[in-house]
Amino acid sequence: MNTAVNSKRRHFLIRSLLALGMSLGLGLSANPVTAEIGDPEKEDLKFGFIKLTDMAPLAIAYEKGFFEDEGLYVTLEAQANWKVLLDGVIDGQLDGAHMLAGQPLAATIGFGTKAHIVTPFSMDLNGNGITVSNDIWEQMKPHVPKQADGRPVHPITADALKPVVEAFKQQGRPFRMGMVFPVSTHNYELRYWLAAGGIHPGFYAPHKGDTSGTLNADALLSVTPPPQMPSTLEAGTIYGYCVGEPWNQQAVFKGIGVPVITDYEIWKDNPEKVFGMTREFTEKYPNTSVRIVKALIRAAYWLDENNNANRPAAVKYLSQSNYVGADYDVIANSMTGTFEYEKGDKREVPDFNVFFRYFATYPYYSDAVWYLTQMRRWGQIAEEKPDSWYAEMAKKVYRPDIYQKAAEELIAEGKMKASDFPDFKTEDGYRDPQTQFIDGISYDGRVPNEYLKKFPIGLKGGDKV
């Protein structure tokens, strides 16, 4: 064990003893929360992440000492891609990870690698964008409405891209776009945006051995790891992509592409990444699991408190090579409340990254159900499922019970207020129906099949590919 870790443990022990001594000296009982949770069963932990700004809660929990406050000695390790990251959690190389929200769900239902992954913590809302090459943007611009000052009216819908895609088809050329993983938010958001504009993004047919996702497609979507998106666009391999930050802003800074829309404009305050662990880990190390969530909640709160006042400090951490490793200015371009579309067209988007506001960290069942509806819509779930199945799968993967224990501990310790969290006495895990989608279709997680029937493009009912 290295000296630094030994030193951190000594400081943790000293702080704990001092706190206990103070409470006894004041005639107070020792913290009932600590007694309730108990010490962490596993102290040395390794967590994985991908180099995206929404890994920030992990970086902040580490840098601000929130993990150490829980007696956890964490190593954070960047992973090459989402598959490597998921495999690392499944085989135990990683104790947990910054994950795509669809990964725990897909693994649990057996789309791709089969494993029971759970999430007790949602890492953020929003944070993605869709970028097209400069050439494609020039072809789109005649179809985009303009403001009085000549700048585009936002949000820009895929209606403006449709004539471009049709021209490619007439020339016999495939129109290729990138997304980061088949069960990523980025895949579903890109598909949602395209389909809302009448562009078919293709079906999956796993029951036929076809996992390409390109059946009947007008636009062909393929996987590219997030940090490689700008270079793949620049090489002309793809004509656009959907990715998290800072890789949309990187295209602006490099002068190779134009972000045309953020996911905030596709679905306002949409759930993004989660923190994933195996069910086995949470059952074997229940105290450790709650303490991990406590540290992450504190980090998310820090990121949003005082109207994002800590964001510049957060950007400084994230720009380090061991985290995101992009230039400070590139990360700050979206992380500090603005977003730059076409070069020089920087607009206020204060909620582009949300880490704690709007109960962002709570693992809502309805968030899980939305992802499952999109898996069904595009054929990753090959057959019709009853509404009860969606609810059951959501409850197998999303773990508000662990979250609630962590939140109640923080309230009891005086670190957080009850008003910072949903009312646990009445919360059923389902958000009120959500209406702020780019196509105007409303979503109620309690009736997923009714929701699917609203889409003109996509599988519904007994449809099969």
Cβ–Cβ contacts within 10 Å for residue 174, how many?
13
3: Cα separation from own chain's centroid: 35
**Residue located via tokens 């305050």:** 269
User: Could you identify the residue written with the tokens 């870790």?
Assistant: 5
Q: In what order do the strands lie in the sheet with 220-223?
A: 220-223, 176-179, 240-244, 128-133, 257-262
Name which residue leads in pLDDT, 7 or 297. Answer: 297
DSSP string, 284-329: H-HHHHHHHHHHHHHHHHHHHHHHHTTHHHHHHHHTSTTTT-S-HH
Long-range contacts of 343-349 (CB under 8 A, 24+ apart): 343/252, 343/255, 343/258, 345/151, 345/152, 347/154, 349/262, 349/264
pLDDT in tens, 400-410: 999 999 999 99
- Is the CB of residue 240 less than 8 Å from the CB of residue 132? yes
Q: Which residue has the tokens 């303490």?
A: 291
Higher pLDDT, 36 or 440: 440
* Residue 169 pLDDT: 97
What pLDDT is recorded for position 1?
Answer: 39
Q: Considering the chain, what is the average pLDDT of its residues?
A: 93
Query: Are the C-beta atoms of residues 298 and 154 closer than 8 Å to each other?
Result: no
Statement: residue 32 has pLDDT above 90: no
- Contact in structure between 280 and 274 (CB atoms under 8 Å): no
- pLDDT tens for residues 82-126? 999 999 999 999 999 999 999 999 999 999 989 999 999 999 999
Residue 3 has pLDDT above 80, yes or no: no
Quick check: 30 pLDDT over 50?
no
State both tokens at 449. 């099949």
The Cα angle at residue 444 between residues 441 and 445, in degrees rounded to 5:
130
**Domains in the chain: boundaries:** 1-30, 37-126+272-420, 128-270+436-452
Residue 270 binned pLDDT confidence (cut-offs 50, 70, 90): very high
- Domain 37-126+272-420 matches domain 128-270+436-452 at the CATH topology level: yes
CA distances to 104, 107, 187, 293 from 91, in Å: 14, 13, 25, 21
Per-residue confidence at 36, pLDDT binned at 50, 70, 90?
confident
312-352 confidence digits (pLDDT tens): 999 999 999 999 999 999 999 999 999 999 999 999 998 99
* pLDDT of 12: 52
Give the pLDDT confidence score for residue 18 in this predicted structure.
Answer: 43
pLDDT band at residue 13 under the 50/70/90 scheme = low
Q: Which helix (H) or strand (E) holds 76?
A: strand 73-78
What mean pLDDT comes out for the span 141-167?
A: 97
Q: Other CB atoms closer than 10 Å to residue 41's CB: what's the count?
A: 12
**CATH superfamily ID and name for 37-126+272-420:** Periplasmic binding protein-like II (3.40.190.10)
Q: Is the pLDDT confidence value at 9 over 80? A: no
Structure pTM? 0.93
The pLDDT confidence band at residue 263, using thresholds 50, 70 and 90, is very high
- Architecture of the domain defined by 128-270+436-452: 3-Layer(aba) Sandwich (3.40)
